[in-house]
Homo-oligomer: A and B are copies of this chain.
Amino acid sequence: MAAQKPGLARGTRDFGPVQMSRRNYLFGIIRTVFEKFGFQPLETPAIENLATLTGKYGEEGDQLLFKILNSGDFMKNASDANLSERNSKSITPEISEKGLRYDLTVPFARYVVMNQHLHNFPFKRYQIQPVWRADRPQKGRYREFFQCDADVVGTNSLLCEAEIVLMIREVFEKLGLADYSIKLNNRKILSGIAELMGAPGKEGPLCVAIDKLDKIGEEKVFEELKERGFGDDVAKKLQPFLQLTGSNAAIIADLEKLLARSDVGMVGVAELKEVMAMVEGFGVKVDQLAIDPTLARGLSYYTGCIFEVKPTSVQMGSICGGGRYDDLTGMFGLPNVSGVGISFGIDRIYDVLDELNLFPAESLRTSKVLIANFDPASAMKALAVLGKLREGGIAAELYPESAKLKKQFTYAESKGIPFLLMAGESEFASGEFGLKNLQSGEQKTFTIEQIISELR
């Protein structure tokens, strides 16, 4: 076979040692926080039956599903009509029964329904896995990317909402990121606003329009709402909500006045108040938390509190978001299971930490020390030293060949190994070994025992 020039599939990435180390550092912190809050790990398969996936993500989503060709003689099931018409769309279900996971939410719902007798509600799970979408790749948008979700299902308690705020706070604190905002709103407030605008039940189009405030401005949002039948006094009725400022307590007080005539709106305000009281009850101050009645979030399935996190010192969209939904598992026949979830945008958080230089140098998974290989006889003796270092819990390696020292240096540097240990004939004769700090260039002489305690 002739050698071929290898390449990656479009929209996919390799993660080499540096990226993997940083990703594992990031995942590790999120995982630790999730587990501290009682969330347990779950993983579902990459391959799902198309029957599970299709129809869950809208028509656009169905088209973006990666579909797997049936094994064996798949063409035998294709219908004559579809073949002769070359009808890609209608032939697909005849030759493909499986697809790749598109998000973590639908497989989670499937898992909950299939394993409802295994878990006592509330069920708190987290899931960190890749998903695949046949989107057009562009800067920052990949066809394979990781999602990182935590959800509680089976309880209406607003404690879950308060804990989501605390988890967000703890994750970003541990990551060293202080400049961010957590916006909090409640879909019921948006329902109340729609009601007051004379468009009860139209919170859907209201959310879609309000979601564009940052992009197109107030005037255009008002116009869009007028077109969608929100009446001619849109500006007058909506503006008071857009102009709310001050502390969270002040905003809540204003909302109570503005929404006094909407039952659903007042429930929304009451829920926000309770979440804020619970966050306070934990005894921590979350300065980043701000109630924002204009936060809408695109997804239609949210029914209660909604969250969105954005960095404030870096130009970047939302890095974390979520909310409460009332009927996640209904699509698989288990109705009335309320849940609330949060999703961390791993790729964006990675970019923010990278831009702000917040990845600690120690996150790099590499050896702490490279033993230089001077000659075969010394290398043989160095094995016992290497064994002792590792026994002492120190990641270490011996250069595998008696190559030029320059080459061994370069190896250590390219791999980010911070120390080089000199272990030649004279060192073994004296029992004292040179330890060179490759960053400072400084070299000191120690016994092996001293080196172990030095490096540990």
Which residues of A approach B to under 8 Å, CB–CB? 1, 3-9, 12-17, 20-21, 24, 35-38, 40-49, 51-52, 55, 63-64, 66-69, 71-76, 78, 83-84, 86-88, 91-92, 95-96, 98, 100, 110-111, 113-115, 118-120, 122, 124-125, 130, 132, 134, 143-144, 152, 155, 157, 159-160, 162, 166, 277-278, 281-284, 330-333, 365-367, 379-381, 383-384, 386-388, 390, 393-398, 400-401, 410-411, 414-415
Are A411 and B37 in contact (CB-based, < 8 A)? no
Q: Which of A13, A16, A91, A396 has the most CB of B within 10 A?
A: A16
| Known pairs A9-B45, A45-B13; A281 contacts B36 (CB<8 A) | no
CB distance from A115 to the nearest CB of B (A): 6
Please give 6 more A-B residue pairs, beta carbons under 8 A apart, in addition to A15-B42, A66-B68, A155-B400.
Answer: A5-B332, A12-B45, A20-B40, A37-B390, A75-B88, A277-B380
Contact of A17 among B41, B68, B96 (CB under 8 A): B41
**In the docked arrangement, what's the CA distance between A95 and B144, Å?**
20
A-B contact pairs, 17 of them (CB 8 A): A1-B331, A4-B332, A13-B45, A14-B42, A14-B111, A14-B115, A15-B41, A16-B42, A20-B43, A21-B40, A38-B367, A38-B397, A47-B66, A68-B69, A68-B100, A69-B96, A281-B383
Residues from chain B with Cβ under 8 Å of A120 in the complex: 410-411, 414-415
Roughly how many angstroms separate A379 CA and B159 CA in the complex, as a whole number? 10
* Cβ distance A54 to chain B, nearest Cβ, rounded Å: 10
* Nearest B residue (CB) for A74: B88
Residue in B41, B45, B98, B160 whose beta carbon sits within 8 Å of that of A21 in the complex: B41
Distance between A249 CB and nearest chain B CB, rounded to angstroms: 18
- The 3 tightest CB contacts between A and B, nearest first, are A157-B400, A12-B45, A3-B333
**How many copies of this chain does one complex carry?**
2
A86 CB contact (under 8 Å) in B40, B44, B75: B75
Known A-B contacts A36-B396, A42-B20, A44-B14; the reply to A92 vs B114 at CB < 8 A is: no
Known: A115-B14, A155-B400. A282 touches B387 (CB 8 A): yes
Chain B residues with CB under 8 Å of A86's CB are 75-76, 78, 83
CA distance in complex: A288, B386 (Å): 21
A16 to B126, CA, bound (A): 10
Shortest A342–chain B CB gap in Å is 16
Smallest beta-carbon distance A137→chain B, Å? 12
- Highest count of chain B CB atoms <10 Å: which of A6, A55, A92: A6
B386 & A282 in contact (Cβ 8 Å cutoff)? yes
Contact at B110–A6, with CB atoms within 8 Å? Answer: yes
